[in-house]
Chains A and B, each alone.
Chain A
Amino acid sequence: MREIYLSGYNNFVLPFMLGMIFVLSWCIIGAIRVILQLPKEDRKRFFMSLVNPKIMLKNIRDWFCDCLFHVKLWKRNKLLGYMHSSIAFGWFMIIVIGHIEVFLYTPERVHQIWYPIFFRYFVAVTESTMKGSFFFFLMDFFLLVILSGITLAIIKRVRSRLFGMRRTTRASITDLIGLYALWSIFPLRLLAEGFTADISGGSFLTKSLNGVLHSFLSDHMNMLPTWWAYSIALGIFMCILPFSRYMHIPAEILLIPMRNAGIKVRHARKGFAKLQVYSCPSCGVCIDACPMGAVKANIKDTTVYLNRQIKRYNEKRIEEISDKCLLCGKCTALCPVGVEGDRMRIAQRSIRKYNLSPDYSNIDENMLLERCNKFVSSTNNDVSSTQNQKVLYFAGCMTALTPVISKSTQSVLQKAGIKFEMMDKDGGICCGRPMLMAGRKEQAEEMVAKNTAIIKASGADTLLLSCPICYKIFKEKYHLEGIEVIHHTEFFDRLINEGRLSIKGSDTRFVYHDPCELGRGCGVYEEPRRVIGRAGVLVEADKNGKESICCGGSLGSLTLSFERRKALTENALNNLTVASPDVIATACPLCRSTFNRYSDRPVKDIAEIIDEATRRKNR
């Protein structure tokens, strides 16, 4: 290789350099701001994680898997995955190989950052460098890969359904500018390199294009405008990047190590929350995920629009969007970059001022404790109870309104010979989760403290819960050392495995609805299914597990009125009944009563199903 121009510079690199300097300084300043906005202990935790080899290894893996290969999107839809990873990985490889070329052939130019980008303009191929044809081939190959991705992106713009997406985001103006700039970068690069391929060398793509171009445009003077165009496209893209959704590219690089360091959203707008907002690629996966999407008017209330409104400081819309959400967590579970739609919304709720300062100091926990510290031994003599386990059963507020669940649970406990006591048979203190969901953390903590005192003083060693809403907060926010917190589905599964409950199956077909707070909230998917499988035939819903659709009754939403939830429930029921089950099984009192209102077939809690299945045997 030899250089054509002594200076190694041409004016056309200016747009690129302008964009590059702008975007680099923007990102560096942004990153420093985000890090400075973190609370002190979080910042420390973040820096510590960077020297932890285990976390660093995970960071590197995540950078490759998430940023370059888009593994999560591959799992959703192959075409969508290919589209994203071809552009991201292809571009990455072109930059890497471009630098390798510079290192190999013109090492003295390394410090000129535009040089690797416009390498082909500045050099001419020589006899000796035909060895470089390997790199030439690679460069053309990855350019082709990117171009195929761009072609798919253009098709997706018109027909998103092909990519497994029913609905996509409506792009903002800056997004559109960025999009068109991005689309034009690589065809322009191909054109520019095509013009110069006979001088600078090239491979199957650029070389053949060069042949075609020279058949009607022989003047080398034509090449300069195309390089200018290429540089301008890059410059526009980089200048618009901080104001468009493409900001997710640099933001995600920082988001991954922060997430791996275990940093949580603590402030509604600053620090990690800000980073999440900028990491949102506006891909619209959350639009299809959102259970509220059953009603078209709700589409604009999905996480992608929340992020967009936060960027625009549109307080009115931020409030509407964050108050309406059911907090089912499905957008968080499916988000390819890991934006936590539910946590973000709770954070938005928490900065709102209310003129009420609840005070729970008048609540007498001793009186409540008096009601629940007499553990009664089971009257069932068939089961020899060797263990001295003391189970405290906290049915929860919602279960008080679906008494069949607490009655069945107690009946099962009796049959298994468990020594138990009910914590809230005559009313109790709310677990605090609904308060937390409303963004009122301090008040929730007061309730947590009251309940903790009662549970610890009761002398129980196991806390059994029927309601997944309670279960989540008891697992995450309560500090009950030495007391096991367990949901009734898990507890029954254990009792069956230990042989303390004998169950007779039937040929009833059950479909299991994963309650949001139990499945996505606490990661309990297997135990309920195992338990149901013992009592009958388990069939699956269309969308299940991590993708289960919220029943619509969630306490998460503050503003969704009763009537407006109906369509959501009906949509969820349609999803559940695809395999025409006889009974809809669930493990949440709220899901049970919500479904029961509109369902055409029986809706039962797992506790009821197990109670019936144990009764069958006794007959």
Chain B
Amino acid sequence: MFGFRISPSSAINLDNVSRDRFSELCRIEPDALRCMACGSCSATCPAAEFSGMSVRKVLLYLQRGKEEEAFKIMNNCMLCGKCTMVCPRGINTRHLLLTICRIYEKEDRR
């Protein structure tokens, strides 16, 4: 029970994170850089209850190279636009999410 297991480290090593696709995302939707992680989007999201969807987290996961995690929580997004309505930084979250879906190719996801 208290033995050691060999498992991949859950720590993030930023040295190994590629920033190319995130830069591409920022080129198309510069709002991606404006998030101040207030959590308004996650709190209001109707999908959060089911999948833990949070635009804030998606952005963070992508910036930290955890693309698989980002896509896992995006599965229940209904594009309803509530997050766009509440975002204090005026981020166009709907377009941001759609752009993410286009830039991050499935096979490239880690």
Q: Do chains A and B touch in the complex (CB under 8 A)?
A: yes
| A contact set with B: CB distance below 8 Å | 323, 352-360, 362-364, 397-398, 400-401, 427-430, 432, 434-435, 438, 440, 443, 447, 555, 558-563, 590, 593
Question: B61 at the A/B interface (Cβ < 8 Å)?
Answer: no
**What are the residues of chain B within 8 A of A359 when measuring CB–CB?**
75-76
- B44–A401 CB distance below 8 A: yes
Question: B86 at the A/B interface (Cβ < 8 Å)?
Answer: yes
- B78–A447 CB distance below 8 A: yes
- Shortest distance in angstroms between B110's beta carbon and chain A's nearest beta carbon? 14
Which residue on chain B has the smallest CB distance to residue A360? B76
The interface on chain B, measured as residues whose beta carbon lies within 8 A of the other chain's beta carbons, has a size of 30
Which residue on chain B has the smallest CB distance to residue A396? B80
- In the complex, A440 Cα to B106 Cα: how many Å? 18
- CB-contact partner of B90 in A323, A362, A429, A563, under 8 A: A563
- B44–A434 CB distance below 8 A: no
Q: A398-B82, A555-B84 are in contact. List 9 more A-B contacts (CB 8 A).
A: A356-B75, A360-B76, A362-B50, A401-B82, A430-B78, A430-B80, A558-B92, A561-B90, A562-B84
- B50–A555 CB distance below 8 A: no
Q: Describe B's contact surface by its main secondary structure.
A: helix
- A358–B44 CB distance below 8 A: no
- A355–B76 CB distance below 8 A: no
- A400–B92 CB distance below 8 A: no
- In the complex, A58 Cα to B95 Cα: how many Å? 42
- CB-contact partner of A558 in B82, B85, B94, under 8 A: B94
- B92–A401 CB distance below 8 A: no
Please list 9 pairs of residues, one from A and one from B, whose beta carbons are closer than 8 Å in the complex, sorted by A's number: A397-B46, A400-B82, A427-B49, A430-B79, A434-B80, A440-B79, A558-B92, A559-B95, A593-B85
- A434–B75 CB distance below 8 A: no
Question: B77 at the A/B interface (Cβ < 8 Å)?
Answer: yes
Which residue on chain B has the smallest CB distance to residue A560? B92
Interface string of B93-107 (1 = CB under 8 A from A): 011001001101110
**What are the residues of chain A within 8 A of B81 when measuring CB–CB?**
397-398, 434, 555
**What are the residues of chain B within 8 A of A561 when measuring CB–CB?**
31, 90, 92
**What are the residues of chain A within 8 A of B31 when measuring CB–CB?**
561
- B44–A362 CB distance below 8 A: no
- B46–A427 CB distance below 8 A: yes
Contact A428 to B46, CB < 8 A, known contacts A558-B94, A562-B90: yes
**What are the residues of chain B within 8 A of A559 when measuring CB–CB?**
92, 95
- B82–A355 CB distance below 8 A: no
- B105–A355 CB distance below 8 A: yes
- CB-contact partner of B85 in A362, A401, A428, A560, under 8 A: A401
Which residue on chain A has the smallest CB distance to residue B28? A559
- B86–A401 CB distance below 8 A: yes
**What are the residues of chain A within 8 A of B77 when measuring CB–CB?**
358
Q: Sorted from nearest, which 4 A-B pairs have the closest CB atoms?
A: A562-B90, A430-B80, A430-B78, A354-B101
- B78–A434 CB distance below 8 A: yes
Contact A397 to B95, CB < 8 A, known contacts A359-B75, A427-B46, A561-B31: no
- B86–A430 CB distance below 8 A: no
- Shortest distance in angstroms between B29's beta carbon and chain A's nearest beta carbon? 9
**Contacting residues of chain B (3-43) with chain A, CB-CB under 8 angstroms:** 31
**Contacting residues of chain B (48-69) with chain A, CB-CB under 8 angstroms:** 49-51
- In the complex, A566 Cα to B59 Cα: how many Å? 26
Among B75, B81, B84, B105: residue with most chain A CB under 10 A: B81
Among B46, B90, B106: residue with most chain A CB under 10 A: B46
**What are the residues of chain A within 8 A of B74 when measuring CB–CB?**
356, 358
- In the complex, A559 Cα to B49 Cα: how many Å? 27
- In the complex, A95 Cα to B95 Cα: how many Å? 53
- In the complex, A600 Cα to B75 Cα: how many Å? 41
Which residue on chain B has the smallest CB distance to residue A594? B85
**What are the residues of chain B within 8 A of A353 when measuring CB–CB?**
102
- CB-contact partner of A397 in B71, B80, B94, B104, under 8 A: B80
- Shortest distance in angstroms between B106's beta carbon and chain A's nearest beta carbon? 5
- A397–B90 CB distance below 8 A: no
- A354–B78 CB distance below 8 A: no
**What are the residues of chain B within 8 A of A563 when measuring CB–CB?**
90
- In the complex, A156 Cα to B55 Cα: how many Å? 51
- In the complex, A362 Cα to B71 Cα: how many Å? 15
**What are the residues of chain A within 8 A of B98 when measuring CB–CB?**
354, 438, 558
**What are the residues of chain B within 8 A of A435 when measuring CB–CB?**
78-80
